[in-house]
Amino acid sequence: MKRTSVLLAAVALGIVWQIAAWALHRPILPPPLEVLSVFATEILGELGLDFLASLARVVASMALAVLTAVPAGLALGQSPSLNRVFSPVIYILYPIPKVVLVPVILLFLGISDVAKVVIIFLILFFQILVLVRDQAAAIRPELVASVRSLGAGRRALFRFVYYPASLPAILTALRQSIGTAVAVLYVAELFATQHGLGYYIYLHGSTLFDYPRMYAGVVAMSLLGLGLYFGVDWLQRRLCPWQYAA
Amino acid sequence: MIEVDGLSFHYPDGTAVFEGFTWHVAAGEAWAVLGPSGCGKTTLLYLLAGLRIPNLGAVRIGGERVARPRPRSGLILQDFGLLPWATVHDNVALGLRVRGFYGPDGKHAPAGEAVTARREITHAWLDRLGLSHLAGSYPGQISGGQRQRTAIARTLALSPDLLLMDEPFAALDAPTREDLQNLTLQLRAETALTTIVVTHTIEEAALLGRQVLVLGRLPNRLPRLVPNPGAADPAFRATPEYVAACTRLRRELEAAR
């Protein structure tokens, strides 16, 4: 996607927002420029800290998910017998909307940061696991045979075949699940915390009725999702250039 | 150089492909293995390459029993042998990188032979096979013939003494196929390679094999050998002997069914 078209789309959305604010003319929808000016001052203070708290939770979950789901996915993808054992389990667990597990996880792990990281981790884990497994299973046996004939044993096959083959799957899984992850982060941050964008939005919207601040929080949360999405997109271009070669 | 002695091999479903099969290849020979699909010729090549292990009997190359891929054997497959995510240059350098990864351990790479001039060797082979201008392209961006040239460069960069090819040119159009057959014969002459080409095409076997092994109905027990002394020379194509060789091979192939 071109940068200018993304910018144009943002401006267009801003205009729609402005028109809606004029038309409605009520405090529950402040105009975008007012929200942006609140955002600009708040992001250097309380909102900035909440942004960092949320970012840290998502990034920690992403790292944890990649570190656990990738080896598991590669193992399942390489071994049909292992996959036969685990795939029914994954088949049952994969479609469960993980957000319904929020209360359960809070019961077990308490109201700590760990609980919030674990919830997002669960979403990312299954997405990455399934995509990496399918990618590893789709590697042609001819490719493995010919690289083995060059002298590659298990370690070299992992380094030169399985790892690069699964990179696009890892990044695609991350990109696809970032939206859900941020949404669930919001829900998780409504429960018993004093930090994070979910808390910030809820506090200013439903408790303090400070709508410009609430919208500044919504903007920050949107930027968090967008930033992560673009970040992964950028990584994919950097790490998987063959996918973009015409 | 290659001794296949009393080889028996069954697929996991129990189908016997070889039973007590014995076959010898001397160093420097040019062999073609001809047979219809499903006759076990690819299996034989994989057994020679150390990618399959016999149920009974042994495959020895250079006096050593083959139990895993041997560093001095090169393998070229019909397709899907190149890393799609690596450039032509990186694909050609792959074998050398794998050797560097393990070091000269005698198991994954020939003992006592550290890879020192990876860049130079890679560039020399890119150049020899006319691929220098494609060095930065990915396999998906180049033609089938260029892909197969890349695979050949990658294999020869490891200076093998035995080259195993499985239907290497079957997916190519006729002019490209002839071109690469000639190139294979030239490279053979330059590097004193022993070559074994598996093919289902009579014409290809007649051109590339100074000796032709014909496989047929399963299980293969006794090898059918057809000598073809004029082959392994691009000029052979234009001779009456070539036509006669094709006729003879066609007959053998039918008899083997």
CATH of the domain at A130: 1.10.3720.10
State which of B116, B140, B159 marks the end of a domain.
Answer: B159
**A180 lies in some domain:** yes
**A88 lies in some domain:** yes
The per-residue pLDDT for A1 is 67
Question: In chain A, which ranges are E strands?
Answer: none
Residues B167, B149 share a domain:
no
Residues B62, B132 share a domain:
no
Mean pLDDT of B38-65: 90
Residue A240 is nearest to which of B46, B79, B85, comparing CB atoms?
B85
A103 cis-preceded (ω within 30 degrees of 0): no
Least confident piece of the model among A45-49, A227-231, B3-7, B232-236 = B232-236
User: Which one-letter DSSP state was computed for residue A28?
Assistant: T
The per-residue pLDDT for B108 is 84
**Are B165 and B76 within 8 A, CB to CB?**
yes
pTM of the full structure: 0.83
What is the rounded CA–CA span in Å between residue A213 and residue A208? 10
CB burial of B131-155 (b: ≥16 within 10 Å; e: otherwise) equals: beebbebbbeebebbbbbbbbbbbb
Confidence band (pLDDT; 50, 70, 90) for A60? very high
Domain with A120 in it: 54-192+231-243
Q: How many CA atoms lie within 13 A of A238 on its CB side?
A: 6
Residues B104, B141 share a domain:
yes
**Range among A102-106, B135-139, B223-227 with highest mean pLDDT value:** B135-139
Number of structural domains in chain A: 1
Contacts of A151 in chain B (CB under 8 A): 69, 71, 95, 98-99, 102, 108-109, 158
Residues B142, B177 share a domain:
no
Residues B257, B179 share a domain:
yes
Look up residue B13 and give its amino acid: D
CB burial of A200-230 (b: ≥16 within 10 Å; e: otherwise) equals: bbbbbbeeeeebbbbbbbbbbbeebbeebbe
The answer to whether residue A184 scores a pLDDT higher than 90 is: no
**A158 lies in some domain:** yes
Whether B185 contacts chain A with CB within 8 A: no
Domain with B125 in it: 81-159
Q: How crowded is residue B95: how many other Cβ atoms within 10 Å of its Cβ?
A: 30
User: If residue A15 lies in a helix (H) or strand (E), which one and from where to where?
Assistant: helix A3-24
Contacts of A156 in chain B (CB under 8 A): 98, 101-102, 108
How many CB pairs lie under 8 A apart between chains A and B? Answer: 86
State which of B114, B140, B159 marks the end of a domain.
Answer: B159
Q: For the CA atoms of chain B, what is the radius of gyration?
A: 18
For A54, counting Cβ atoms within 10 Å of its Cβ (0-12 exposed, 13-18 middle, 19+ buried), the class is buried
Residues B171, B130 share a domain:
no
**Nearest-CA distance from B185 to chain A in Å?**
22
The answer to whether residue A107 scores a pLDDT higher than 90 is: no
SS (H, E, C) A125-160: HHHHHHHHHHHHHCCCHHHHHHHHHCCCCHHHHHHH
Phi, psi (5° rounding) for residue A213? -65, -45
**Nearest-CA distance from A237 to chain B in Å?**
12
The answer to whether residue A44 scores a pLDDT higher than 80 is: yes
SS (H, E, C) chain B: CEEEEEEEEECCCCCEEEEEEEEEECCCCEEEEECCCCCCHHHHHHHHHCCCCCCEEEEEECCEECCCCCCCEEEECCCCCCCCCCCHHHHHHHHHHHHHHHCCCCCCCCCCCCCCCHHHHHHHHHHHCCCHHHCCCCHHHCCHHHHHHHHHHHHHCCCCCEEEEECCCCCCCHHHHHHHHHHHHHHHHHHCCEEEEEECCHHHHHHHCCEEEECCCCCECCCEEEECCCCCCHHHHHCHHHHHHHHHHHHHHHHHC
The answer to whether residue B197 scores a pLDDT higher than 90 is: yes
Mean pLDDT of B220-245: 87
For A70-91, write each residue's pLDDT tens digit.
Answer: 999 988 988 888 889 998 998 8
What is the rounded CA–CA span in Å between residue B108 and residue B99? 7
CATH number of the CATH domain containing B250 = 3.40.50.300
Q: What percent of chain A has pLDDT over 70?
A: 99
Residues B167, B126 share a domain:
no
- Chain B, 122 to 181: residues with Cβ < 8 Å from chain A are 137-138, 140-141, 151, 154-155, 158, 164
Whether A151 contacts chain B with CB within 8 A: yes
Residues A72, A143, B87, A160, CA torsion sign = positive
Whether B85 contacts chain A with CB within 8 A: yes
Residue B51 is nearest to which of A149, A151, A245, comparing CB atoms?
A149
What is the rounded CA–CA span in Å between residue B31 and residue B209? 4
Number of structural domains in chain B: 2
Q: Is A204 helix (H, G, I), strand (E, B) or coil?
A: helix
Residues B172, B135 share a domain:
no
The answer to whether residue A99 scores a pLDDT higher than 90 is: no
The per-residue pLDDT for B110 is 82
**A39 lies in some domain:** no
Mean pLDDT of B152-179: 90
**A36 lies in some domain:** no
For B245, counting Cβ atoms within 10 Å of its Cβ (0-12 exposed, 13-18 middle, 19+ buried), the class is buried
User: Which one-letter DSSP state was computed for residue A162?
Assistant: I
For A224-245, write each residue's pLDDT tens digit.
Answer: 999 999 999 999 999 998 888 7
Confidence band (pLDDT; 50, 70, 90) for B234? confident
State which of B131, B159, B187 marks the end of a domain.
Answer: B159
**Nearest-CA distance from A139 to chain B in Å?**
10
Q: Tell me if A151 and B102 make a contact (CB, 8 A cut-off).
A: yes
Residues B132, B95 share a domain:
yes
